[in-house]
Amino acid sequence: MTTISRRTVLQGMGVSALATALSGLPVLAQDRTAIRIGYAISKTGPNAAGAGISTTPNYLLWVDDVNKAGGITLSKLGVTLPIEVTEYDDRSTAEETVRAIERLATQDNVDLILPTWGTGANLASGPTFDRFGYPQLAGTAVTDMAPDLVKRWKHSFWMLGGGHDYAEALVALLVKQRDAGTINNKVAIASVADGFGIDLSKAATPAFTEAGFELVYDKTYPLGTSDFAPVISEVAGLGVDTFVAFSYPPDTFALTQQSVVANFSPKVFYLGVGTAFPIYPGIAGPNHNGVMGIGGIDPDSEALAAYFERHTALNGQAPDNWASAVTYASLEILAQAIERVGDIDREAISAEISSGEFDTIIGKVKLVDNQLRSLWTVGQWQDGKFVGLAHTERAGAREPVVPKPAWVPAA
Amino acid sequence: MKFVLALVALVALAFVPSFAGPYPLGLGIGVLGYGVLATAWAMFSGPTRYISLATVAFFGLGAYTVAVLSETLPYPVVLFVAAVIGLVVALIVGLATLRLAGIYFVIFTFGLTELVRQLVTYYEVNVTRTLGRYVFLPLGPEHIYWQLLALLAATLGMAYWVRQSRIGLALRVIGDDPVVASHLGIRITRTKLTLFSISCVIMTLAGAIQAPRWTYIEPSIVFNPTTSFLVVIMALLGGPNRLFGPLLGAVPLFLLFEWLSANFPNHYSIILGLLFIAIVFVLPNGVLAAGESLWTRLSRREART
């Protein structure tokens, strides 16, 4: 009995090794019946939650939208072809992301590759995209390095700005409020000790100081912290009107709930990633109103409203109010660039993305130095919508509500 | 004869990058990387039966060293510094913990990974105020492949030497019965510490060499505990007490993981879990040992008939 199972296991190993070797054979017949798009996305591991909110649903929606409209027209070949998807799980590891892209580019020979979720993973896959000449439209990477990266990797496009954009916009917005006399001069910052929190606090601390704010609290807390009572009770005694947390999703929710419990209700309550998530109002209840955070949308845009509807209908959840629309817009840019080139010529497509102007759900977009510079930076929940208060290129969609309504005590 | 064969194999493998495409080369890097880690792991943990889950702590230290120093020092010096850091940490950790045995050691090494990761995070957050670091070195996949190949050859050579030498024998005695070993006059702690340090330095170098492949490094990327578990399971599959055992575990398992993630992206974790259970139940001593016992049983049966 045991002999048999051992042998079976060994045979299984042999078969799988053989299969791996066979799958290494290149695809010979390249019959073009579809435009083949590949992506490796975090379906498991720590990045799965973020990918499942901002990235994957938009990939699914885009493919659905394009295919329902008949596909993408390749005028030079005289055909309109639907999109066919090859997807992998990168298991939230950089090593797997890199290898999955190598596999997509050289084994599956896909026409185009969509990037994975998150700053680190997009930076880690940059050299691989570049080596194979695939355009990389990073819709969920926040990095101040973008101007340097585009010089290094000509096919990379950075769509979500850098830490400085968000931190400086927030400070500028608060300066106005202070000068108008609505808030005092004291600010408290708590940041998650991880890439995002550090990047933003590094940009925000000098910006606040230069603007003449008094930083009475500026500390980090470890990733994975769930009890914020010590932070909140310390900050509550400092007399600040402005509380800023460069936080991550679980902390963002915990900070909200625990501030309500402690009845710490500063005039400006700003949180990081997660504030813009569609589930935030569900978690914060009536207290979501007036909370500020990173991102934002234009509540008056009809294109965006239609996008929200389609997204909710297909995925069963609304998009987030920051990176989702940008991610979808980056896919629209990609599709339009392909149609203008009229063929799967990745060099030409990259050049078109870099220089062309595109019609997207976030308006007319033209990249500057391979970067999307038209971004919502500060948002606030007002009447059930996470409206943009500050934008890098235009005026805010709404005026900030300061002070925010006092917390409704938890029942 | 054996050495000639080994040399021929090494030279042949060194020419792989000249004809292999990027994807096979990527696989090669993965296989070599895990081959090095599993062999280094088994060098200490095989004979002593101390299951160490600290592999990725040293691996990550190596990667971080490269990330921190790659802009200021020439690359070979960076590798040397990484090895020294690995050695120092291994000595400190070894002195503090090798008196632990059994499950306490396992738990400690697992905790060590988290400790190192948190210390690095703390340092980066509070002192340098950067968390992600960039590694821009002019090293392509083929360079990483060659370095890993050299490291694997050195690791196997070292493992071979340990098996032949007194220290290897001493280590096996300790693994079988520490009380007997101490009565025989073996200096238990020193022996274990020496082997533990060698094994850890190799792991540190493996991390340092692979760092340029990722460009961007942050604690959550390089201190991924899954790596430690994979290394253990690979070494166990192949047989941690044989020279080529860990390598023979690393190669098929790595290819199998790759095949699974290419073909069953949505069921990968489930299949992986079942596989681990199967390995522990069906092949507790590794493929090589199972093969040998099968062989002896077959030949005995033949002798009887």
Residue A9 to residue B220, Cβ atoms within 8 A: no
8 A C-beta contact, residue A375 and residue A168? no
- The whole domain housing A258 covers 163-299+376-391
8 A C-beta contact, residue A185 and residue B112? no
For the domain made up of B16-304, the CATH class stated in words is mainly alpha
What is the count of structural domains for chain A?
A: 2
Look up residue A95 and give its two tokens. Answer: 């090593």
Residue B58 binned pLDDT confidence (cut-offs 50, 70, 90): very high
Tell the burial category of A132 from Cβ atoms under 10 Å away from its Cβ (0-12, 13-18, 19+): middle
In this prediction, residue B264 carries a pLDDT of 85
Check whether B73 has a pLDDT greater than 70.
yes
- For residues A181 and A151, membership in a common domain is answered with no
Count CB atoms within 10 A of the CB of residue A78. Answer: 8
Distance between CA atoms of residues A42 and A50, nearest Å = 9
Distance between CA atoms of residues A271 and A258, nearest Å = 13
Question: For residues A326 and B274, which has the higher predicted lDDT (pLDDT)?
Answer: A326
| Shortest alpha-carbon distance between residue A143 and chain B (Å) | 10
SS (H, E, C) B45-104: HHHHCCCCCCHHHHHHHHHHHHHHHCCCCCHHHHHHHHHHHHHHHHHHHHHHHCCCCCHH
* Mean pLDDT score, A19-44: 69
Which of the listed ranges A332-336, B68-72, B238-242 does the model predict with the highest average pLDDT? A332-336
Distance between CA atoms of residues B173 and B20, nearest Å = 44
Interface of A with B in 28-87 (CB under 8 A): 43-44, 46, 87
% pLDDT > 90, chain B: 36
Phi-psi category of residue A364: left, alpha or beta, with phi > 0 → left and psi -120 to 50 → alpha: beta
Please report the ipTM that was assigned to this predicted complex.
0.81
Longest dimension (CA), chain A: 83
Is there a domain that residue A409 lies in? Answer: no
* Mean pLDDT score, B267-294: 81
In this prediction, residue A164 carries a pLDDT of 93
- For residues A287 and A209, membership in a common domain is answered with yes
Distance between CA atoms of residues A137 and A144, nearest Å = 16
Residue-range domain boundaries for chain B:
16-304
Residue B221 to residue A195, Cβ atoms within 8 A: no
Pairing status of strand A363-366 against strand A357-360: antiparallel
Q: What does residue A272 show for φ and ψ, rounded to 5 degrees?
A: -90, -135
- For residues A71 and A107, membership in a common domain is answered with yes
Count CB atoms within 10 A of the CB of residue A184. Answer: 16
DSSP B125: I
Among the ranges given (A160-169, A278-287, B207-216, B278-287), the one the predictor scored with the smallest mean pLDDT: B278-287
- For residues A104 and A179, membership in a common domain is answered with no
Is there a domain that residue A84 lies in? Answer: yes
8 A C-beta contact, residue B31 and residue B157? no
Any CB–CB contact under 8 A between B263 and chain A?
Answer: yes
* Mean pLDDT score, A135-148: 93
Q: Which residue of chain A comes nearest to B24, CA vs CA?
A: A24
Check whether A295 has a pLDDT greater than 70.
yes
Check whether A1 has a pLDDT greater than 60.
no
Check whether A24 has a pLDDT greater than 50.
no
Is there a domain that residue A66 lies in? Answer: yes
Residue A21 binned pLDDT confidence (cut-offs 50, 70, 90): very low
- For residues A291 and A181, membership in a common domain is answered with yes
In this prediction, residue A171 carries a pLDDT of 96
Distance between CA atoms of residues B34 and B247, nearest Å = 8
In this prediction, residue A355 carries a pLDDT of 96
In this prediction, residue A372 carries a pLDDT of 95
Residues 6 or more apart in contact with residue A283 via CB below 8 angstroms: A253, A256, A257
Question: For residues A233 and A3, which has the higher predicted lDDT (pLDDT)?
Answer: A233
Among the ranges given (A165-169, A314-318, B222-226), the one the predictor scored with the smallest mean pLDDT: B222-226
Check whether A140 has a pLDDT greater than 70.
yes
Average pLDDT of chain B, as a whole number: 88
Q: Which residues of B touch A120 (CB under 8 A)?
A: 132, 216, 218, 220-221
* Mean pLDDT score, B136-142: 87
- For residues A362 and A215, membership in a common domain is answered with no
- For residues A185 and A321, membership in a common domain is answered with no
Q: Which residues of B touch A46 (CB under 8 A)?
A: 220
Q: Which residue of chain A comes nearest to B249, CA vs CA?
A: A13
Look up residue A25 and give its two tokens. Answer: 């054979």
In this prediction, residue A411 carries a pLDDT of 62
In this prediction, residue A31 carries a pLDDT of 63
8 A C-beta contact, residue B108 and residue B97? yes
Interface of B with A in 203-242 (CB under 8 A): 213-216, 218, 220-221, 224, 226
Look up residue A397 and give its two tokens. Answer: 């969609």
Count CB atoms within 10 A of the CB of residue A273. Answer: 26
- For residues A295 and A170, membership in a common domain is answered with yes
8 A C-beta contact, residue A158 and residue A146? yes
Q: Which residue of chain B comes nearest to A218, CA vs CA?
A: B126
Check whether A18 has a pLDDT greater than 70.
no
Any CB–CB contact under 8 A between A105 and chain B?
Answer: yes
Q: What does residue A337 show for φ and ψ, rounded to 5 degrees?
A: -65, -40
Among the ranges given (A174-188, A331-345, B205-219, B288-302), the one the predictor scored with the smallest mean pLDDT: B288-302
Which residue in B137, B144, B214 has the most chain A C-beta atoms within 10 A of its own C-beta, making it the best mutation to test that interface?
A: B214
- For residues A274 and A219, membership in a common domain is answered with yes
Tens digits of residue pLDDT in A87-122: 999 888 888 898 899 999 999 999 999 999 988 889
Check whether B205 has a pLDDT greater than 50.
yes
Any CB–CB contact under 8 A between B121 and chain A?
Answer: yes
Any CB–CB contact under 8 A between A151 and chain B?
Answer: no
Is there a domain that residue A1 lies in? Answer: no
Count CB atoms within 10 A of the CB of residue A8. Answer: 12
Q: For the domain that residue A282 is a member of, what is the CATH number?
A: 3.40.50.2300
In this prediction, residue A396 carries a pLDDT of 79
* Mean pLDDT score, A315-324: 94
Choose among B202, B170, B190: nearest CA to B99. B190
Q: Which residues of B touch A144 (CB under 8 A)?
A: none
SS3 B133: strand
In this prediction, residue A32 carries a pLDDT of 82
Check whether A29 has a pLDDT greater than 80.
no
- For residues A67 and A176, membership in a common domain is answered with no
In this prediction, residue B284 carries a pLDDT of 75
In this prediction, residue A28 carries a pLDDT of 39
SS3 B134: strand
Q: What does residue A359 show for φ and ψ, rounded to 5 degrees?
A: -95, 115
Check whether A42 has a pLDDT greater than 80.
yes
Check whether A5 has a pLDDT greater than 70.
no
Choose among A308, A302, A313: nearest CA to A278. A308
Residue B305 binned pLDDT confidence (cut-offs 50, 70, 90): low
In this prediction, residue A2 carries a pLDDT of 39
Is there a domain that residue A239 lies in? Answer: yes
In this prediction, residue B291 carries a pLDDT of 79
Tens digits of residue pLDDT in A351-408: 999 999 999 999 999 999 999 999 999 999 999 999 999 999 888 789 999 899 999 9
Average pLDDT of chain A, as a whole number: 89
Is there a domain that residue A48 lies in? Answer: yes
In this prediction, residue A9 carries a pLDDT of 46
Check whether B11 has a pLDDT greater than 80.
yes
Q: Which residue of chain B comes nearest to A122, CA vs CA?
A: B216
Residue B134 to residue A120, Cβ atoms within 8 A: no
| Shortest alpha-carbon distance between residue A9 and chain B (Å) | 8
Q: Which residues of B touch A225 (CB under 8 A)?
A: none
Tens digits of residue pLDDT in B80-105: 999 999 999 999 988 888 777 778 88
Task: Tell the residue number behind the tokens 């994979």, with chain if given.
Answer: B230
Distance between CA atoms of residues A391 and A387, nearest Å = 11
In this prediction, residue A26 carries a pLDDT of 43
Is there a domain that residue A108 lies in? Answer: yes
* Mean pLDDT score, A252-256: 94
Check whether A12 has a pLDDT greater than 80.
no
* Residue A231 identity (one-letter amino acid): V
* Mean pLDDT score, B133-162: 92
Any CB–CB contact under 8 A between B130 and chain A?
Answer: yes
Is there a domain that residue A2 lies in? Answer: no
